[in-house]
Structure 1
């Protein structure tokens, strides 16, 4: 372990316990895992199907000196989520942070093209899936205090045409985060959101050239203040701040990380 990693892990930015990163094997989720590890947190993360990527993320966290474990999880399945959190709590005793960084490929379409079945599928996977996470973890968090951090979308600030399947479920999740911040703060629970513009990692890279044409990407960059795409480490920095004790008086807030696109 490097001297800088040793120094980072000597800080007290996090209480005892583990940080749980839902979707930690993705392009953004993996950077969040590494960022939290660099800041001194031990990590439990989930993945959908990609065992090889999960193993690579585990190796990166171990190289930073942190403890790490990974579990497969489909958050739309309530019982599976309940069993996951039961396992983690039994093994580690305390969760101090839960980060929701899941993301799946979603088709870009106008609202008038959207079928009820597709709407239900995405809302179940995304919004209902996050509620499953909250339902399975909130009682534990009430006992010890802690932080929820959700990766959301800057589309809630400036509507991105044809992106309703990303924005709509995130609106429900953002409302839930606000409610948690308001209702559960007396138990030492904080809840915050990082709303992303175009980040050159994970889902964006998978969709670029297909759902995101080069003309779309160029227009988004041109219409932003900083004239570039964001990066996964920049997202991780924001998440680490919200999760850590450095943000101990911050709750119910949204950090819009979009390079000024929504201005």
Structure 2
């Protein structure tokens, strides 16, 4: 079950999961056409794929998607949290309170609602996995990215809490810390002029690997953490960020 499946990283995660043998319940908010196109692509890999509208700020829609996914697939074995709005790059001192509230409502309250929705099902099925797409800013603060980094940092605590409290039920929770990825939101922010040449040079100077990451590389990490290959891994952060923060 992938929440935020029509985003660049959500779609890449879904593709990796499909290639590795998973059927998919793709959750989207407004981009139905994109969700349908992705579903058709993944069905080409021989996978069963269902579509489910979800508003991360409305827990009832998450519950409805869960129930529909269980009805269609028999059970959910993993939830991938890739939902989130486009994040304006603003210093904390210049961040409007309404934008802050929106970020918390989607990222933190939404992830919390998703966890509460899936935990009883995972318990009943003898286990399951949460994979949260976080931010490499949790390792080293990137100026002007507070609307993304701070809410995701709250979710890092939730990931550890789920791992600690639910491990006895066979439930795992881990996070992929996402660096600058040459896809999706990064392209949109570049087009808007929120990143300039000076920013690009400064960030790349901090990276041991002198390139941006790819959405596919995020997908590989997500698929690993969702799978039995990571069956003894929980409460961890896997940074796919070119060494950012080292």
CA distance in 2: counterparts of 1:214 and 1:173, whole angstroms? 31
Q: Contact 1:103–1:203 (CA<8 Å) still a contact in 2?
A: no
State the match for 2:171 in structure 1.
189
CA distance in structure 1 between the partners assigned to 2:68 and 2:43 by the alignment: 21
- Residues 208, 214 of structure 1: 8 Å contact kept: no
Render the CA deviation track for 1:211-231: whole Å, top value 9, x for unaligned: 222321232122200000000
> In the TM superposition, what is the alpha-carbon distance from 1:237 to its structure 2 partner?
0.5
Question: Match of 2:129?
Answer: 147
> What per-residue deviation string (whole Å, max 9, x for no partner) do you get for residues 61-85 of structure 1?
1111111011221111122222221
Which ranges of 4 or more aligned residues in structure 1 deviate by more than 6 Å?
Answer: none
Residue equivalent to 2:229: 246
The answer to whether the Cα contact below 8 Å between 1:141 and 1:189 also exists between their aligned partners in 2 is yes
1:47 and 1:214, CA in 2 relative to 1: closer, same or farther beyond 3 A? Answer: farther
TM value normalised by structure 2: 0.96
Q: Which residue of 2 aligns with 1:42?
A: 23
Superposition CA RMSD, Å: 1.2
User: Is the contact between residue 27 and residue 65 of structure 2 (CA under 8 Å) also seen in structure 1?
Assistant: no
SS in 1 for 2:77: strand
Which blocks of at least 5 consecutive residues in structure 2 are unaligned? none
Matches of 1:222 and 1:61 in 2, distance apart?
Answer: 37
Aligned pair 1:199/2:181, yes or no?
Answer: yes
User: Normalising by structure 1, what TM-score?
Assistant: 0.90
Q: 1:74 aligns with which of 51, 55, 71?
A: 55
**Structure 1: stretches of 5+ with no match in the other structure:** 1-19
Deviation sequence 1:193-213 (CA, Å, 0-9, x none): 000110011111111142222
Q: Deviations over 1:210-260 (max 9, x none)?
A: 222232123212220000000011000101111111111110100111101
Confirm or deny: 8 A CA contact 1:42 1:67 kept in the other structure.
yes
Distance 2:234 2:134 in 1: 15
Aligned residue pairs, count: 244
